[in-house]
Amino acid sequence: MKRNLLLLTAFTIACVACNNDSDKINQPDFLAKNIDSTVNPADDFFAYAEGTWLKNTPIPEEESSWGIGNLVQEEIYNRLRKINEDATIKSSTSGVEQKIGDFWYSGMDTLSLEKQGLQPLKADFDEINAIQSTKDLVNVTASFHNKGIDVLFSDYVSQDDKNSEVYAYQMSQGGLGMPNRDYYFNTDARTEGVRKAYNTYLVQTFMQLGNDSGTAVKNAKGVYDLEMRLAKSSRKLADLRDPYKNYNKMDVKALSNLSSNIDWVNYFKNINAKKIDSVIVGQPEFYSTLNREIQSTPIEDWKNYLRFHVVESSAPFLDKKTYANYFNYRKSLSGAAIPRPRWKRVLDAEENAMGEALGQIFVKEYFNEDAKKRYTDLVENIRDAYKDRIRKLAWMSDSTKEKAIHKLDKITKKVGYPDKWKDFSDLKIDRGPFVLNMERSSVWWHNYMMNKLGKPVDRDEWNMTPQTWNAYYNPSNNEIVLPAGIFAVPGMRDPDLDDAFVYGYAGASTIGHEITHGFDDQGRQYDENGNLHDWWAPSDAKQFKERAQKIIQEYNQFNPVDTLHINGDATQGENIADLGGVLLGLDAFKKTETYKNGKKIGGLTPLQKYFLGYSYSWMFQIRKERLANQVMTDVHSPAKERVNGPVVNVPEFYEAFNVKPGNKMYRPDSLRVNIW
């Protein structure tokens, strides 16, 4: 996946194309205004390419980062807001527009939100208060999972990694209040600050629920200690990357033996999961610990745990006080000083609740078939470049090359928006409490997911909306999904974008990146049909791992904040995809007339413009709090390293910016990563 969760935003429109650029050769280049000419690109390419923009563009107080995605999102937010406001004042009583209008109304009705307080959660609290046994605890857990409140553990339905033709019920570790296990154990000052903020939030929440200060402290400690025990048995970020170690298929009897204190048959019934004879457990040791905790942890601690998580998961959709407590904890992770404007938060919530419904209206107004065709053609240019690159590999045997090209040929491309839309007609949205609209949407998505069990796999489905600034590779479908939004350029028209920029910005950072995911450390382990299957000759797999180890070592050396280094193992898939994307975009670009004629564009050579176009896709700055959180929890490297990390392995970068021994960006051939 190209972007991390921080950057997952909704936007689109100024569609990029691969044009004939000869008539724009002498125009000033729009990237030039971002360049900091006081920095030598051979020493720090990111600072050179984006330095002036970084110096002149402060991060807004309400944001944890600011960059290219935010700039485009500002445009799309206003378009989405208009769609919502128009739907609110229309007289429609049914259909997509009714749902959009009523959702917007309920989210923006702050007077009602303040009057309601925690009252909309009464039914949830009543369920918790009625718990008297571990059986009741599991029943309420099932009820909460239906509503999107992921307590105790996580479960979902997706394709079976070893049989992509069927859906499987999957189970993984979860149930923590902080982002991952490391936040409970790391001893650096910043993480200790997050722990302190989290414990303060726990106490505040219990006081809001009616506890006196002493009882609130006691209950908070009980919840925190319980989560810490669950965290101790949770796998670290890098350990979650091995698809084989995190694939443990067993029948329901074996699951019951693993965690006998949970009546799984009854649980499955309560979550509407039918036709389950086997499950895939990601981390069995977590379920062993959970099984012990269900029996040994006092039931009142479990009830407090549930009470807190109900409030925490609902806080963004409730009154100011509840959200303020939540925000004050979350800013220890993000660094944002103030909350984002309410209308933007409502749009973000709508994206999660029924984004594809909104997307149906969006694409009618802001995207067209011509744009869809442009990017479909660009995908094929990148695919052809990858075929050529595979054929020329010196380290891979002919038999594995043949299989790799076969898999590459079978990668499905989905560009712009779906051909078939999800049907939200059964989702009830009204002008009542905002949090209940969100709860009903979670129930809708839960049932949508569970109803997949026992049915044929829908390979036409999209897991992102058209207005999303992101893209992904799905190994089980062997597909790349490229929403319309990912190709947008803020404030720019299509005719103003030359091939050099397009191949760096869209071809390298998105299309080439996603295709390479099919052949990164994880993706390469899936075959052309999307099954977890070893199709590599042993000697080729050994060569790949040795070459991938170089990229792990390279990124381990990066120290973006405090004493935290990038986890090269955990981020290797994204780093491999970044490097692959730069190489594939460049190979494809070399076949264009823009590259072949070699004429400067706005004072830049075609190669320089290509690399600056790639850098532009990562024009971001980020607060230290959010940066630390990203390094600890995200499989994506920070923006600066996503620029400087790949290009030092590309010979043409040295040519474009005269990088020589002694420059900080210089790496000798022996240290350069050479995989694809």
Measured distance CA(11)–CA(13) in Å, rounded: 7
CATH classification at residue 624: 3.40.390.10
Q: Tell me: do 594 and 548 sit in the same domain.
A: yes
**DSSP 8-state symbol, 510:** I
Mean pLDDT for all residues in the chain: 93
> Of 317, 337, 352, which one is at a domain's C-terminal end?
317
Band (pLDDT 50/70/90 cuts) for residue 559 is very high
Does residue 27 lie in a domain region?
A: no
Give the least confident one: 77-81, 175-179, 180-184, 632-636: 77-81
Which pLDDT score, from 0 to 100, does residue 647 have? 98
Q: Tell me: do 195 and 60 sit in the same domain.
A: no
Question: Which amino acid belongs to residue 89?
Answer: I
Does residue 620 lie in a domain region?
A: yes
Does residue 265 lie in a domain region?
A: yes
Q: Tell me: do 311 and 408 sit in the same domain.
A: no
**Mean pLDDT computed over 589-610:** 95
In the predicted structure, residue 297 carries a pLDDT above the cut 50: yes
- C-beta separation of 635 from 241 below 8 A: yes
Does residue 607 lie in a domain region?
A: yes
The residue range of the domain holding 219 is 118-317
Does residue 550 lie in a domain region?
A: yes
Q: Tell me: do 410 and 313 sit in the same domain.
A: no
For residue 67, count CB atoms less than 10 angstroms from its CB and return exposed for 0-12, middle for 13-18, buried for 19 or more.
buried
**Mean pLDDT computed over 567-592:** 98
CA distances in angstroms from 218 to 189, 222, 308, 325, listed in the order given: 25, 6, 13, 19
**Mean pLDDT computed over 598-617:** 96
Which pLDDT score, from 0 to 100, does residue 19 have? 36
Q: Tell me: do 633 and 494 sit in the same domain.
A: yes
Which pLDDT score, from 0 to 100, does residue 364 have? 80
Q: Tell me: do 411 and 301 sit in the same domain.
A: no
**Mean pLDDT computed over 390-412:** 98
Which pLDDT score, from 0 to 100, does residue 8 have? 35
Tens-digit pLDDT profile for residues 457-501: 999 999 999 999 999 999 999 999 999 889 888 888 766 789 999
Band (pLDDT 50/70/90 cuts) for residue 331 is very high
Band (pLDDT 50/70/90 cuts) for residue 371 is confident
**End-to-end CA separation in angstroms for the chain:** 18
**Mean pLDDT computed over 201-212:** 98
In the predicted structure, residue 425 carries a pLDDT above the cut 90: yes
Measured distance CA(174)–CA(252) in Å, rounded: 20
Band (pLDDT 50/70/90 cuts) for residue 91 is low
Q: How many domains are there within the chain?
A: 2
**Mean pLDDT computed over 515-535:** 97
Q: Tell me: do 394 and 302 sit in the same domain.
A: no
Q: Tell me the percentage of the chain whose pLDDT exceeds 70.
A: 95
In the predicted structure, residue 20 carries a pLDDT above the cut 50: no
For residue 598, count CB atoms less than 10 angstroms from its CB and return exposed for 0-12, middle for 13-18, buried for 19 or more.
exposed
Which pLDDT score, from 0 to 100, does residue 10 have? 32
Measured distance CA(47)–CA(30) in Å, rounded: 17
- C-beta separation of 237 from 570 below 8 A: yes
Band (pLDDT 50/70/90 cuts) for residue 544 is very high
Which pLDDT score, from 0 to 100, does residue 28 have? 58
> Of 292, 317, 342, which one is at a domain's C-terminal end?
317
In the predicted structure, residue 27 carries a pLDDT above the cut 80: no
What are the backbone angles phi and psi of residue 432, rounded to the nearest 5°? -80, -160
Which pLDDT score, from 0 to 100, does residue 527 have? 98
Which pLDDT score, from 0 to 100, does residue 31 have? 93
Tens-digit pLDDT profile for residues 39-57: 999 999 999 999 999 999 9
In the predicted structure, residue 555 carries a pLDDT above the cut 50: yes
**Smallest Cα–Cα separation from 12: which of 479, 343, 375, 346?**
375
Does residue 464 lie in a domain region?
A: yes
Locus of tokens 């590259």: 595
**Smallest Cα–Cα separation from 616: which of 588, 590, 585, 592?**
585
Does residue 515 lie in a domain region?
A: yes
Q: Tell me: do 300 and 376 sit in the same domain.
A: no
Q: Tell me: do 648 and 576 sit in the same domain.
A: yes
Q: Tell me: do 270 and 203 sit in the same domain.
A: yes
Measured distance CA(647)–CA(641) in Å, rounded: 10
> Of 284, 317, 350, which one is at a domain's C-terminal end?
317
CATH classification at residue 227: 1.10.1380.10
Which pLDDT score, from 0 to 100, does residue 12 have? 31
What is the dihedral angle through the alpha carbons of 579, 581, 583, 585, rounded to the nearest 10 degrees? -160
In the predicted structure, residue 11 carries a pLDDT above the cut 70: no
Band (pLDDT 50/70/90 cuts) for residue 654 is very high
Does residue 191 lie in a domain region?
A: yes
Long-range contacts of 217-224, Cβ-Cβ distance < 8 Å, separation of 24 or more? 219/301, 219/304, 222/298, 222/300, 222/301, 222/304, 222/305, 223/177, 223/301, 223/304, 223/305, 223/308, 224/198, 224/199
Which pLDDT score, from 0 to 100, does residue 72 have? 86
Q: Tell me: do 396 and 490 sit in the same domain.
A: yes
Q: Tell me: do 287 and 385 sit in the same domain.
A: no
